A = this chain, B = another copy of it.
Amino acid sequence: MKIALCQINYHIGNFEHNVAQIIMYLNKARDNGADLAVFAELAISGYPPRDFLDFNDFINRCNRAVELIAAECKGIAAIVGAPVYNNTGKGKRLFNAALFLHDGKVEHVEHKALLPNYDIFDEYRYFEPGRDFHVIDYKQERIALTICEDLWNVGTDPLYTFSPMEKLELQCPTLMINIAASPFNASQSAARHAVLKENVALFKLPLLYVNHVGAQTELLFDGGSSVLAADGSLVAELAYFEEDFLLVDSESLKCGGFSGNSTDSSRIQLIHDALVMGIRNYFAKLGFQKAVLGLSGGIDSAVVLVLAARALGPENVWGVLLPSRFSTGHSVSDAIELSENLGTRHDVISIEEPFSAIQNTLAPLFENLPFGLAEENMQARARAVILMALSNKFGHILLNTSNKSEAAVGYGTLYGDMCGGLSVIGDVYKTDVFALAHYINKDRVVIPENIISKPPSAELRPDQKDSDSLPEYDILDEVLFHYIEEFKGPDEIVAMGFDKALVSRILRLVNLNEYKRHQTPPILRVSAKAFGMGRRMPIVAKYLG
């Protein structure tokens, strides 16, 4: 049986777009002689639809979209993910379903049984778990159809009390198909391969896996849809970070002995490509073309400028230099050199006049209080006011340039440098920002060497260095990683060899600054634990704070 894997960039709630794309790929599959076209989990609605699922109107639109697609399923079958009503009278109102469409109608429905509800996932918020499992007889195959997490209850510490494939196995399937919405992080591709292989090893069946591709605000879907033969060999892997299509003959997967190539991209390369896709899709799906950002002459804004230019085209990216009395000469010249290397527009706007005006205005209240944090923040906020004015006047989206290290410890000004429509590198630790800069420069110097080599500074007071306030980034990032990504407590981190007072100070800063992160833009997610929807912390609390 010939099966088409269709890896598509969906748009949440954009039924017109999603249906059109699905039907286009369906026709392509039929034209290529496919018996079955497979689409991703919740392809109809886009993933994650979040609380749109609470609206009957939204579910009814999903139903109508399914009918449109089913009507096209003549001479070919399709598997497509959609939310459906739970009509059992008990439990939550919806199921997360995989629909088998054939002969113009929905012939079979399977419900997702294992509902991820950790990190960025909220599926138990909406869906009742499936409890009945039936293989699908179609042509010469008996298909065991599951949805994403249904295959993930493996390993030594299973999160769920059973696995749907154990039930389906009793019905003698000949083929596994899994439709997924599995977002990218820099270690996800390896984890995914391990889980797919483990399922093939357990059930001795070929496995077709179809994932989403494309960005949905902060969530980046890398694609990487895969075909595994019954012996566990990887027969084929679809593209990363772009739409793709593949036709396979299920008969050829029974014996194995293949070996397709998985991506051999490095971790930093994956992050780079994911971020470029994230920016590009954010703008395209919102209907915007142009970005503006502040260029400080530092490495963070330099890396964001490069990523934005690659995502949107240099003609669509505008870097604005906003020097103050504390900016060093090289900050301006380095940023201009970078901008010229890229061919992006740049302007220089001094913040001296607004900064002075704000100080004058406050003088009667501030009297003769010494220059301090308030004055530092004022500069960052004066920059934000100017950048947002440009955004409002000319229709550019402001890109945020904060990195994960400073977001973690609150080294940034709320309503100042923490502004923006999208945080590009808010899930990238400072040490990885350096690695990205080196990766960008691997073939030729794009980012001037001086931007990479000079000591990081906010330049908000004379001779300021980040290291005046923060530990060195290589130490800071390690401690942050153990705390944020690995959920280690202070004693555990100290036991790894870090200074006790330092660990205590860093963890305290992370927790105390939750209030700032609460008001930041969505952050493109490239790690297994990004700030934002996947990390939910109390603000008013006292744990380690």
Interface residues of A in 494-545 (CB under 8 A from B): 515, 518-522, 533, 535-545
Residue of B nearest to A358 (CB): B354
Q: Are B385 and A56 within 8 A (Cβ)?
A: no
Q: Are B491 and A57 within 8 A (Cβ)?
A: yes
Q: Quick check: is A365 within 8 A (CB to CB) of the other chain?
A: yes
Residue of B nearest to A118 (CB): B125
Q: Quick check: is A472 within 8 A (CB to CB) of the other chain?
A: no
Which residues of B are found within 8 Å of A471, using beta-carbon distances?
none
Q: Quick check: is A374 within 8 A (CB to CB) of the other chain?
A: yes
Which residues of B are found within 8 Å of A50, using beta-carbon distances?
536-538
Known: A161-B91, A377-B389. A540 touches B124 (CB 8 A): no
Residue of B nearest to A11 (CB): B542
Which residues of B are found within 8 Å of A520, using beta-carbon distances?
519
Q: Are B381 and A393 within 8 A (Cβ)?
A: no
CA of A474 to CA of B422, assembled, Å: 35
Q: Are B538 and A217 within 8 A (Cβ)?
A: yes
Q: Are B519 and A521 within 8 A (Cβ)?
A: yes
Instruction: Tell which of B217, B347, B419, B519 touches A365, judged by Cβ atoms closer than 8 Å.
Output: B347
CA of A194 to CA of B515, assembled, Å: 36
Query: Which has the most chain B C-beta neighbours within 10 Å: A216, A347, A374?
Result: A374
Which residues of B are found within 8 Å of A57, using beta-carbon distances?
488-492
Binary contact track A353-389/B, C-beta < 8 Å → 1, others 0: 1101110111011100100111001100110111011
Which residues of B are found within 8 Å of A319, using beta-carbon distances?
none
Interface segment among A12-20, A74-82, A327-335: the answer is A12-20
Known: A537-B50, A538-B50. A385 touches B389 (CB 8 A): no
CA of A539 to CA of B282, assembled, Å: 9
CA of A12 to CA of B522, assembled, Å: 26
Q: Quick check: is A2 within 8 A (CB to CB) of the other chain?
A: no
Tally of chain A residues near chain B (CB < 8 A): 96
Instruction: Tell which of B52, B489, B535, B538 touches A538, judged by Cβ atoms closer than 8 Å.
Output: B52
CA of A153 to CA of B342, assembled, Å: 61
CA of A389 to CA of B372, assembled, Å: 10
Which residues of B are found within 8 Å of A160, using beta-carbon distances?
90-91
Residue of B nearest to A545 (CB): B13
Q: Are A281 and B540 within 8 A (Cβ)?
A: yes
Q: Are A392 and B373 within 8 A (Cβ)?
A: yes
Instruction: Tell which of B357, B361, B541 touches A14, judged by Cβ atoms closer than 8 Å.
Output: B541
CA of A400 to CA of B54, assembled, Å: 29
Q: Quick check: is A441 within 8 A (CB to CB) of the other chain?
A: no
Which residues of B are found within 8 Å of A11, using beta-carbon distances?
540-542
Q: Quick check: is A46 within 8 A (CB to CB) of the other chain?
A: yes
Interface residues of A in 25-60 (CB under 8 A from B): 46, 48-52, 54-58, 60
**A339 shortest CB reach to chain B, Å:** 16
CA of A147 to CA of B273, assembled, Å: 47
Q: Quick check: is A193 within 8 A (CB to CB) of the other chain?
A: no
CA of A539 to CA of B538, assembled, Å: 22
**A355 shortest CB reach to chain B, Å:** 8
**A422 shortest CB reach to chain B, Å:** 9
Q: Are A13 and B49 within 8 A (Cβ)?
A: no
**A448 shortest CB reach to chain B, Å:** 25
Known: A349-B362, A357-B357. A540 touches B489 (CB 8 A): no
Which residues of B are found within 8 Å of A388, using beta-carbon distances?
377, 381, 414-415
Q: Are A489 and B55 within 8 A (Cβ)?
A: yes
Q: Quick check: is A350 within 8 A (CB to CB) of the other chain?
A: yes
Interface residues of A in 146-180 (CB under 8 A from B): 158-161
CA of A381 to CA of B419, assembled, Å: 12
Known: A358-B385, A389-B358, A491-B57. A537 touches B51 (CB 8 A): yes
Which residues of B are found within 8 Å of A158, using beta-carbon distances?
90-91
Q: Are A489 and B12 within 8 A (Cβ)?
A: no
Instruction: Tell which of B55, B353, B357, B544 touches A487, judged by Cβ atoms closer than 8 Å.
Output: B55
Which residues of B are found within 8 Å of A17, using beta-carbon distances?
542
Residue of B nearest to A518 (CB): B522
Q: Are A357 and B362 within 8 A (Cβ)?
A: no
Instruction: Tell which of B124, B286, B390 touches A124, judged by Cβ atoms closer than 8 Å.
Output: B124
Q: Are B393 and A385 within 8 A (Cβ)?
A: no
Instruction: Tell which of B91, B125, B285, B536 touches A540, judged by Cβ atoms closer than 8 Å.
Output: B285
The 10 closest A-B pairs by CB, nearest first: A57-B489, A13-B543, A357-B357, A14-B542, A374-B392, A12-B541, A374-B393, A124-B124, A13-B541, A354-B357
Query: Beyond the given A61-B543, A384-B415, A533-B536, could you list 20 further A-B residue pairs with CB under 8 A, ordered by the A residue number?
Result: A46-B538, A117-B125, A216-B541, A217-B539, A285-B540, A349-B361, A349-B362, A353-B360, A353-B361, A354-B354, A354-B361, A357-B358, A362-B390, A372-B393, A381-B385, A381-B388, A382-B385, A415-B419, A519-B519, A519-B520
